[in-house]
Amino acid sequence: MSELIQNRILVWDLPTRWFHWLLAASFAGAWLTSESERYSALHVMLGYTLLGLIAFRLVWGLAGTRYARFKDFAYSPARVVQYVKSLVAGKPEHYLGHNPAGALAVFLLLGLGIATGVSGWLTYNEIGGEWLEEAHELFANAMLVVVGVHIAGVVVSSFLHRENLARAMVTGYKQGGPDGSINKKRGIAALLLIAAVAGFWGLWFNGKLDSLVSGQASAQTEDGGGHRDEEDRRGRKDRHDDDD
Ligand code: HEM
């Protein structure tokens, strides 16, 4: 099949690739800062970024190019089982877009990303109780497990297909027949995505979005509410003080 044809064809458009690596970086950063009070503002910023990226991906799953669309990788459980069997037998079926097992991981990651981000936001604003904080940690840990399985799956599939799938997520190109190629990189949509993330980070670091971090806290602190102390929330200020 397509494995026999050795053309280099474009499979992942630019927005999908940028989404992927920004999501991976945001998740890694949010994970690394999750236990730190000093970097708590950075943790919150990366959580918002993760939610924003997933919101973009939900739109792109309907409006993106062929392999980015959800309908291209909405496989039935039976197809997932069939694919895993072919994988175990050492002869995995070749897919240009997401394979059925990979697709399952993608949907889990998107779902867990939303659950982790929303529960984090609610916990941070002290909406909900202790159980929500625990749910936030649980979702984040479940996401870490799925990320681990996802990366292992990418490594195993890359070896079995003799094709570097991680590189394909960077360059956009895979091996396949000319009919399989997408014909647009969608550079403008990618630029808008990057500009939105960069703009958000820029505003955040310049203190223009403090209401997302401390606005409600100030209000609550003034009337003796139960929020964490404002200074505690303003990781940036803490950091400055520590650096002095
Ligand atoms: C070094 C780390 C990683 C590598 C090498 C990697 C590699 C890949 C590759 C090769 C694909 C395409 C899979 C396919 O061909 O079907 C993919 C898709 C995906 N990965 Fe990763 N990944 C990494 C980390 C992560 C992390 C940390 C997350 C989430 C927090 C993540 C979430 C996703 C998602 C959501 C997709 C689907 C992309 C889309 O269709 O928009 N990945 N990854």
Alpha-carbon span 53 to 40, nearest angstrom: 20
Nearest to 120 by CA among 221, 207, 31: 31
Q: What is the pLDDT of residue 3?
A: 46
Residues 146 and 108 sit within 8 Å (Cβ to Cβ)? yes
The dihedral through the CA atoms of 97, 102, 107, 109 has a sign that is negative
CA distance 123 to 71: 34
Atom 7 (ligand 1) nearest CA: 166
Cα–ligand 1 centroid distance for 183 (angstroms): 22
147 ligand 1 Cβ < 6 A: yes
Please give the pLDDT value at position 231. Answer: 41
Angle at CA of residue 92, ends 12 and 145, nearest 5°: 70
Mean pLDDT by 10 residues, the chain (244 residues): 68 98 98 96 97 98 98 98 92 93 97 98 90 97 98 94 96 94 97 98 93 56 40 42 42
Quick one: pLDDT at residue 6? 65
Task: Answer yes or no: is the C-beta of 29 below 6 A from any ligand 1 atom.
Answer: no
Q: How confident is the model at residue 90, as a pLDDT?
A: 86
Distance in angstroms (rounded) separating the CA atoms of residues 19 and 162: 25
Which helix H or strand E contains 173, and what residues bound it? Answer: strand 173-175
The answer to whether 120 and 111 are in contact (CB under 8 A) is: no
**For residue 169, how far is the Cα from the chain centroid?**
14
Give nearest CA residue, ligand 1 atom 31.
Answer: 24
CATH architecture of 2-37+46-190: Up-down Bundle (1.20)
Q: What is the pLDDT of residue 92?
A: 86
Any atom of ligand 1 within 6 Å of the Cβ of 169: yes
At a CB cut-off of 8 Å and minimum separation 6, what does 45 contact? 200, 201, 204
Q: Please tell me the residue having the least CA distance from ligand 1 atom 16.
A: 98
Which pLDDT score, from 0 to 100, does residue 4 have? 55
pLDDT at position 219: 41
Position 216 scores a pLDDT of 47
Residue nearest to atom 34 of ligand 1 (CA): 106
